[in-house]
Structure 1
Amino acid sequence: MTTATTEFEQHWRAWHAEREAWAREPLGWLSLTGLHWLGEAEENVEGLPGRWRVDGETVVVTADSGDGYVLDGPALTGRTTLTPGEGAPGIEVRVGDRLVEVIRRTGQFALRIHDPAAPALAAFTEIPAFAPDSRWVAAGEFTPYDTARTVTTGAVVEGLEHHHPAAGTVRFTLGGAEHTVVAFGDPKTGLRLLFTDGTSGVSTYPGARLLPIGTPGSDNRVRLDFNRAQNLPCAFTDYATCPVAPPENRLGVAVEAGERDPRREVRS
Structure 2
Amino acid sequence: MSLQTTAAEAVPSRERFAEEWEAWHREHEKRRADPHGFLAVTGLFWLSAEPTEIPGLPGLWSTGEEGPTVELAGDDVLLLGGTVIAGTHRFGPIAERGGITVGFDGGVVEIAKRGGRDILRPRRPDFPFLSSYTGTPSYAPDPRWRVPARFVRFVAPRPIEVGAAVDGLSHVYESPGYVEFDVDGETFRLLAFPGHAPGSLFALFTDATSGVTTYAANRTVAIDVSEDSDETVIDFNRATNLPCAYTDFATCPLPPAENHLRIEVTAGEKTPISRVQGAASAAGLVPAAGSL
TM-score calculated relative to the size of structure 2:
0.86
Query: Judging changes above 3 Å, is the alpha-carbon distance between structure 1 residues 184 and 13 closer, same or farther for their aligned structure 2 residues?
Result: same
1:238 equivalent to 2:248? Answer yes
Q: Distance in 1 between matches of 2:227 and 2:137?
A: 32
1:204 equivalent to 2:209? Answer no
1:83-94 map, 5 Å: 83-94=92-103
Q: Distance in 2 between matches of 1:4 and 1:185?
A: 31
**Alignment correspondent of 1:132:** 141
Q: Secondary structure at the match of 1:75?
A: strand
Q: Distance in 1 between matches of 2:273 and 2:254?
A: 17
1:65 to partner: Cα distance: 4.6
- The answer (yes or no) to whether the contact 2:66–2:91 under 8 Å persists in 1 is no
1:263 to partner: Cα distance: 3.7
- The answer (yes or no) to whether the contact 1:37–1:111 under 8 Å persists in 2 is yes
Q: Distance in 1 between matches of 2:288 and 2:164?
A: 23
Letter in 1 for 2:238: R
- The answer (yes or no) to whether the contact 2:98–2:112 under 8 Å persists in 1 is yes
**Alignment correspondent of 1:159:** 168
Query: Judging changes above 3 Å, is the alpha-carbon distance between structure 1 residues 198 and 10 closer, same or farther for their aligned structure 2 residues?
Result: same
Q: Distance in 2 between matches of 1:176 and 1:114?
A: 47
Aligned alpha-carbon RMSD (Å): 2.1
1:86 to partner: Cα distance: 3.5
Q: Secondary structure at the match of 2:110?
A: strand
Select 1:174's aligned residue among 171, 183, 195: 183
Q: Secondary structure at the match of 1:33?
A: coil
CA deviation digits over 1:101-120, x for unaligned, max 9? 11112221211010000111
Letter in 1 for 2:88: R
1:138 to partner: Cα distance: 1.0
- The answer (yes or no) to whether the contact 1:98–1:116 under 8 Å persists in 2 is yes
1:96 equivalent to 2:80? Answer no
- The answer (yes or no) to whether the contact 2:162–2:256 under 8 Å persists in 1 is yes
Query: Judging changes above 3 Å, is the alpha-carbon distance between structure 1 residues 104 and 267 closer, same or farther for their aligned structure 2 residues?
Result: closer
Query: Judging changes above 3 Å, is the alpha-carbon distance between structure 1 residues 249 and 267 closer, same or farther for their aligned structure 2 residues?
Result: closer
**Structure 2 unaligned regions, length at least 5:** 1-7, 276-286
1:32-71 map, 5 Å: 32-71=41-80
How much identity, in percent, do the aligned residues show? 37
**Alignment correspondent of 1:222:** 232
Q: Secondary structure at the match of 1:180?
A: strand
Q: Secondary structure at the match of 1:230?
A: coil
Number of equivalenced pairs: 268
**Alignment correspondent of 2:201:** 191
**Structure 1 unaligned regions, length at least 5:** none
TM-score calculated relative to the size of structure 1:
0.93
Q: Secondary structure at the match of 1:58?
A: coil
Select 1:143's aligned residue among 136, 147, 152: 152
